Amino acid sequence: MKIEKITNTILLFIMLTFCATSIFAQVVEANLNLMPYPEEVKISDGQFKLNKEFTIQLNTEDEKVYKAAQRTIDIIARRTGLFFKERSPIPAENAGKGSVFIDTKGTVQLEFKIDESYSLDISQKSVVIEAENCFGAMHALSTLVQLIDSDEDGYYFPCLTINDKPRFPWRGLLIDVSRHFEPVDVIKRNLDAMAAVKLNVMHWHLTDDQGFRIESKVYPKLHELGSDGLYYTQTEIKDIVKYAEERGIRVMPEFDLPGHATSWFIGYPHLASAPGPYTIERLWGIFDPTFDPANEDVYIFLKAFFEEMSELFPDEYWHIGGDENNGHQWDANPEIQAFMKENDLKDNHALQNYFNERLDKILSKLDKTMVGWYTDEMPDLSKDYIVQAWKGRKTLYETAKNGYRSLLSHGFYIDLVQSTEYHYLNDPIPPDSILTDEVKERIIGGEATMWAEFVGPETIDSRIWPRTAAIAERLWSPGKINDVKNMYERLDKMTIQLEDFGLTHIKNIDMMLRRIVGDYDVATLKNFVNAIEPLYTYSRDRPHIFLSHYPLSRIVDIAQPDPRLPREFSNLVDSYLKNGSHEKAGKIKELLELWHGNHKKLAGLIKVKPILKEIETLSADLSKCAAVGMKALEYYVQEKKADETWVKESNEILDAAKKPRGETELSIIEPIRKLVAAVQ
């Protein structure tokens, strides 16, 4: 029996390996710049040519399909410059040749776990989209616009057949607007981008210590005193929720409590566990102000507030936060301690469980299901409760095993400016998972989290995109589609396409550099910015102590997470050292010479622009590192070994250059170190 089990295991491993290799081979062979990549793609010969006769025809009167088709026509027109005779979708019976035909089977409400599947069949004569409902059709249209291509004969769609559906039903993006407020236009353009990569939940973090960002007519002091005047009116909330729904995106609000609650207490201090007065928090971190679970007025207040807010947010799911309550106010309050003793609540975990149970009863009567951040002791709540795992994959599995539906956010914290590769390989259920099918079923997806300590309207897009497109693929596409090199190739194309939706992740770089330089010519400063990356966010509070109103206009705010040029330079060095060529050596030398000479040009600007002073020595170190790389490349080309003294001195230069400055760090050190190692 033992031998049979081992044999079966080996066979299973071989089958899985073959399957993964086969899927990857199909992705590479197809050479389609799609993201997320569909579940099944079959390429055919030929092209569907785009010309002025192009139309989109509908067999439905569903307004959401009509609007999605209109947006698609507009994107295709902008990309191709073609003057279409029909600039709007038309009924199916009026269609002629060269048409996209959309066939949906019915109308459904937007809710969790709706059918999002679709098929897309492109032949030389027509494009046919079939879906169970409007939301699947929207996904098909998102795929279609990614397929636009061109050659010397014009624009076209390649002939193919796609059958596609999501791997996980919950694919979200959290946007924190409390720590830094984001205007309506920022939210809308990010909703458009979310739809483009098939994300379907916007988790809206509306309250925290630093701000209360939503109008309340029942308790107006919440937004009047807790927001610095920066909040969404109820009309704006309804507009955004409708805008999201038209793009197949559910909006889940988060009202964070019992902790992270300072902004609630500025207008209503009697709800807190310690007497006021309270003021808006200007720092980042975990603070003491906490709701008083022993105060019945708290539940009366929250019941009325939740009833008001439920009219604005029709989605079933409601996030209560629930994390990072330090319990200091509870420990110091004699009445709360007496309440705990009277109700046999042994510690603060039990007290928070009590608080959550009371909230659960309020929300249940409003037909809302609670979602909350993972805490060390899970509340004794209904198994409908959804747990968001942010402390690690282990907690994701623990909560799923305990019967709760679970979301993964650990590893998707995009505010931490980690690499796209790191996020992309962060699979909620990796291929080697030994979880039972029952437990896997409870892992319903994940969310990228854009916490806003260090982003504002000018910079938030560059922190969300393009990395979140790779996260969207991880949550939509089969887990076996996970080749990093291929992902980056497709992501580079997607990065540009995302600008169709008004995102500023590329164009704001030059705008912010022009502000610093005070001139149109930003090339020298941009050469430096392209070689660095922002420091891991949790390290940014040193040496500065940040306040929420500090400007976000420094080099660290312009520098890009996972910058493209250093990644390409690293790949170029690896490829050259593996099988060198004169062409690759020339490209490496060209970049090194650019970086080596850049500081001399930049020094004069730094002298007269104090905002750049903090990166002066880092710029000088970029030049020094490039000089080391140039010398190492010279040795390698000449097939010479460097002497030990030079190697030692070079590594010391590279080590010194690793020190962050201006909360940024050089991104080109390691590939240069590889060149040095190659000539030792």
Whether the pLDDT of residue 13 is over 50: the answer is: no
User: 450 in a domain, yes or no?
Assistant: no
Residue-level pLDDT at 546? 83
Give residue 250's region: left, alpha or beta (phi > 0; psi -120 to 50).
beta
**In Å, what is the CA distance from 635 to each residue of 569, 576, 577?**
19, 14, 13
Pair (282, 234) in one structural domain: yes
Which residues, 6 or more positions from 165, have their beta carbon under 8 angstroms from its beta carbon?
39, 115, 116, 117, 118
What letter represents residue 193's amino acid? A
Question: Considering the domain boundaries, does residue 453 fall inside one?
Answer: no
- Which residues does 576 contact at the CB level (< 8 Å), separation at least 6? 584, 585, 588
In this prediction, residue 382 carries a pLDDT of 79
Residue 7 has a pLDDT of 46
Same domain, 244 and 111: no
CA distance 459 to 557: 7
State residue 542's pLDDT score. Answer: 59
Strand partners, 175: 204, 450
pLDDT, one tens digit per residue, over 564-606 is: 999 999 999 999 999 989 999 999 999 999 999 999 999 999 9
Q: How far apart are CA 632 and CA 73, in angstroms?
A: 53
pLDDT for the residue 2: 39
Name residue, tokens 């007519």.
217
> Rg (Cα) of the chain, in Å, rounded?
27
Distance CA 541, CA 539 (A): 6
| Terminal-residue alpha carbon distance, the chain | 53
pLDDT at 303 over 50: yes
Instruction: State how beta strands 386-389 and 55-58 pair.
Output: unpaired
Q: What is the pLDDT of residues 94-109, one digit of tens each?
A: 655 668 999 998 889 9
- Residue 670 in this model has a pLDDT that exceeds 90: yes
Percent of the chain with pLDDT over 70: 94
> Is pLDDT at 9 greater than 50 in this prediction?
no
Of the residues 305, 337, 371, the one at which a domain ends: 371
Is 473 contained in some domain?
Answer: no
CA distance linking residue 486 with residue 92, whole number of Å: 38
* pLDDT at residue 544 greater than cutoff 70: no
Q: What is the mean pLDDT of residues 356-380?
A: 89
Per residue in 208-225, pLDDT tens?
999 999 999 999 999 999
Per-residue confidence (pLDDT) for residue 98, from 0 to 100: 62
* CATH, residue 150: 3.30.379.10
**Final residue belonging to a domain, choices 371, 390, 420:** 371
pLDDT band at 29 (very low <50, low <70, confident <90, very high): low
Is residue 110 predicted with pLDDT exceeding 50?
yes
The verdict on residue 406 lying in a domain is no
CATH number of the domain to which 225 belongs: 3.20.20.80
290 and 159 within one domain: no
Q: Which residues contact 87 (CB under 8 A, 6 or more apart)?
A: 73, 77
Read off the pLDDT of each residue in 493-520 and give the average, rounded to a whole number.
97
Average pLDDT over residues 533-554: 83
Residues 17 and 60 in one domain: no
For 558, phi and psi rounded to 5 degrees? -85, -35
Residue 119 has pLDDT above 70, yes or no: yes
| Claim to verify: residue 94 and residue 136 sit in the same structural domain | yes
| Residue 362 in domain | yes
Q: Do 122 and 238 belong together in one domain?
A: no
In this structure, the strands spanning 386-389 and 369-373 are parallel
- Indicate if 285 and 325 belong to the same structural domain: yes
Considering only residues 383 and 7, tell me which one the structure prediction assigns the higher pLDDT: 383
Q: What is the pLDDT of residues 277-286, one digit of tens each?
A: 999 999 999 9
Q: Is residue 172 part of a domain?
A: no
Beta bridge partners of 318: 370
Domain that holds residue 7: 1-30
The rounded mean pLDDT for the chain is 94
Query: How many domains does the structure of the chain reveal?
Result: 4
Considering the domain architecture, whether residues 108 and 245 belong to the same structural domain is answered as: no
Select from 371, 404, 438 the last residue of a domain.
371
What's the confidence (pLDDT) of residue 25? 56
| DSSP tally for the chain: helices H, then strands E | 25, 19
Residue 425 has pLDDT above 60, yes or no: yes
Tell whether the model's pLDDT for residue 238 goes beyond 70: yes
Across the range 544-563, mean pLDDT stands at 92
- Sequence-distant (≥ 6) Cβ neighbours of residue 68 within 8 angstroms: 134, 137, 138, 141, 246, 247
Does 366 score more than 80 pLDDT? yes
Query: What is the number of residues in the chain?
Result: 680
Residue 473 has pLDDT above 60, yes or no: yes
**pLDDT exceeds 70 at position 457:** yes
Residue 363 sits in the same domain as residue 214: yes
Say what the pLDDT of residue 95 is: 54
3-state secondary structure of 41: strand
Nearest of 365, 378, 233 to residue 299 by alpha carbon: 365
Tokens of 511: 């705008």
My answer on whether 246 and 152 are in the same domain is: no
In-domain check, residue 404: no
Least confident span in 64-78, 323-337, 366-380, 445-459:
366-380
Q: Are 584 and 642 in a shared domain?
A: yes
Report angle CA 511, 514, 516 to the nearest 5 degrees: 115
Read off the pLDDT band of 4 (50, 70, 90): very low
Give the per-residue pLDDT at 27.
63
Which one from 324, 335, 441, 649 is the annotated catalytic residue? 324
pLDDT at residue 174, rounded to an integer: 98
Give the mean model confidence (pLDDT) for residues 462-488.
Answer: 98
- Residues 238 and 334 grouped into a single domain: yes
Q: Is residue 305 part of a domain?
A: yes
Q: Is the pLDDT score of 454 beyond 80?
A: yes
pLDDT value at position 675?
98
The DSSP line for 496-551 is HHGGGGT--TTHHHHHHHHHHHTSS--HHHHHHHTTEEE--GGGTTSS----TTS-
Mean pLDDT of 457-462: 98
**Residue 51 clears pLDDT 60, i.e. is over it:** yes
Does the annotation count 458 as an active-site position? no
User: What is the average pLDDT across 347-365?
Assistant: 95
Could you tell me the pLDDT band of residue 538, with boundaries at 50, 70 and 90?
confident
